[in-house]
Structure formats: structure tokens, C-alpha cells
């Protein structure tokens, strides 16, 4: 008799904030150290103009046992996909719920969940989604919708063609493989 085993699909984490949100209090993001809880205590009214942005405190990096999470040069969490095992510890500790698990074949994702209108987003963040709809118009399989002023991708429909990432004028839609993402220098 054959034994049936079910193979678990690998999952990986993605951060839905590209960074570059402006800070309050004139504090450069690079100088914020410690965990997100400490930052919230020191700045109870918040440190970012964007209330949906990554705090950059590194709570997610502290809990990652694989060393897959680090704080980028822009002061936001960044995942090393080659090290991530999809355990979900970073997802649980993120106070803004910006980290989520997905499957490696769904490599295209929006790196912004800001819900403010485009004009306000432009004032607060250099890479935030402005809900322009260009990604939605250029998706050949209708996998993208603008909801609550930001792009949302239906991973079941997405064919990972990268058209949305290439067309996004703010570089908000990312390809974690780096193939279709707008170069940082252009953003």
C-alpha cells in the first residue's frame, strides 16, 4: 500500500512598505534604532507622516531566526527571500501588519497599503501608491484592483508578467526577484 504524504508548499514573507515615508520631528529614519514598541513609546503621536508606513524599529529582524529580515537603507524592513522559510514570526510581531506571507510564485506585490488619497500620499511618501490606476489598466488578466486608495493584487489571477511593476510611475509595485521592479535610482 502506498503511503500518501502531503507536501507543504514553501511560503515567504513580503513587506508592504517600500519606505521613503517622511518622518515627523525631523528625525532621520536611519537614526531610529531599537524595536517598534520602543519607537511607539518615544513618539506616541507617531514618527511618520504616513500612518501606514514601516516604523523601521527592527522588531521583525529581532524575531527572525534565519536572519532573513533586516532594516534597509530607507529605514524599512526588507526580506532576504533566499533565507526566508515562511515561519511567520515577522508577520506576528509587525505592529502595522505590513508583512504578509505569500508563495514564491507570486513574486509581484504592492509595497504600499496607504489608504489616503493620492495627493496626500505624495506629500508624505516618495514611493506610496497614489491610486492612479495605471497598474489596473495595464494588467492583461484583470488581477489588480484599486481598493481603499492602493493597489491590491489577486494572486490567484496574477500571471506574474510584471506589466504592473514596469508601468507603476512610483515604483510601488515590486517584484521580489528584482526583474520587473523600477530601479531605486529612478524612484
Please give the distance of CA 178 from its chain centroid, rounded to a whole number: 14
Cell of 135: 497598474
Q: Is 166 exposed, middle or buried (0-12, 13-18, 19+ CB in 10 A)?
A: middle
Cell of 51: 500612518
Q: Identify whether 45 is part of a domain.
A: yes
Q: Identify whether 72 is part of a domain.
A: yes
Last residue of a domain, which of 81, 104, 127? 104
pLDDT, tens digit (0-9, with 9 covering 90-100), for 53-81: 898 889 999 999 999 999 988 888 999 99
Last residue of a domain, which of 104, 127, 142? 104
Cell of 139: 494588467
Q: Identify whether 93 is part of a domain.
A: yes
Task: Verify that 100 and 113 share a domain, yes or no.
Answer: no
Cβ atoms of residues 9 and 99 within 8 Å:
no
Task: Verify that 58 and 134 share a domain, yes or no.
Answer: no
What range does the domain containing 139 cover? 105-180
Distance between CA atoms of residues 70 and 21, nearest Å: 18
Last residue of a domain, which of 53, 72, 104? 104
Task: Verify that 53 and 16 share a domain, yes or no.
Answer: yes
Task: Verify that 130 and 167 share a domain, yes or no.
Answer: yes
Task: Verify that 87 and 130 share a domain, yes or no.
Answer: no
Cβ atoms of residues 108 and 153 within 8 Å:
yes
Task: Verify that 21 and 73 share a domain, yes or no.
Answer: yes
pLDDT, tens digit (0-9, with 9 covering 90-100), for 132-183: 999 999 999 999 999 999 999 999 999 999 999 999 999 999 988 777 765 4
* Alpha-carbon distances of 158 from 72, 91, 107, 139, 181, rounded to whole Å: 28, 23, 10, 9, 16
Count of beta carbons in the 10 Å neighbourhood of residue 88? 14
Count of domains forming the chain: 2
Q: Identify whether 2 is part of a domain.
A: no
Q: Identify whether 159 is part of a domain.
A: yes
Task: Verify that 111 and 90 share a domain, yes or no.
Answer: no
pLDDT for 185 equals 46
- Does residue 153 or residue 34 have the better pLDDT? 153
Locate cell 526566508: which residue? 84
Cell of 133: 490606476
CATH number assigned to the domain comprising residue 62 = 3.30.70.20
Record the pTM.
Answer: 0.83
Q: Identify whether 1 is part of a domain.
A: no
Task: Verify that 98 and 15 share a domain, yes or no.
Answer: yes
**CA angle (30, 116, 39) in 5-degree steps:** 30
Q: Identify whether 5 is part of a domain.
A: no
Task: Verify that 169 and 109 share a domain, yes or no.
Answer: yes
Q: Identify whether 143 is part of a domain.
A: yes
Amino acid at each position: 500500500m502506498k503511503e500518501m504524504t502531503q507536501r507543504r508548499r514553501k511560503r515567504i514573507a513580503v513587506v508592504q512598505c517600500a519606505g521613503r515615508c517622511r518622518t515627523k520631528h525631523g528625525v532621520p529614519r536611519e537614526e531610529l534604532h531599537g524595536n517598534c514598541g520602543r519607537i511607539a513609546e518615544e513618539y506616541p503621536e507617531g514618527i511618520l507622516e504616513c500612518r501606514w508606513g514601516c516604523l523601521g524599529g527592527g522588531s521583525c529582524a529581532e524575531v527572525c531566526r534565519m536572519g532573513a529580515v533586516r532594516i534597509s537603507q530607507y529605514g524599512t524592513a526588507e526580506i532576504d527571500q533566499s533565507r526566508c522559510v515562511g515561519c511567520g514570526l515577522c508577520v506576528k510581531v509587525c505592529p502595522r501588519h505590513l508583512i504578509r506571507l505569500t508563495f514564491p510564485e507570486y513574486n509581484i506585490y504592492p509595497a504600499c497599503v496607504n489608504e489616503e488619497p493620492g495627493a496626500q500620499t505624495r506629500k508624505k511618501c516618495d514611493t506610496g501608491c497614489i491610486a492612479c490606476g495605471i497598474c489596473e489598466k495595464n494588467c492583461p488578466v484583470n488581477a489588480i484592483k484599486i481598493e481603499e486608495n492602493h493597489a491590491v493584487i489577486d494572486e490567484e489571477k496574477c500571471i506574474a508578467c510584471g506589466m504592473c511593476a514596469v508601468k507603476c510611475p512610483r515604483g510601488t509595485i515590486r517584484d521580489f526577484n528584482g526583474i520587473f521592479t523600477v530601479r531605486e535610482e529612478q524612484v
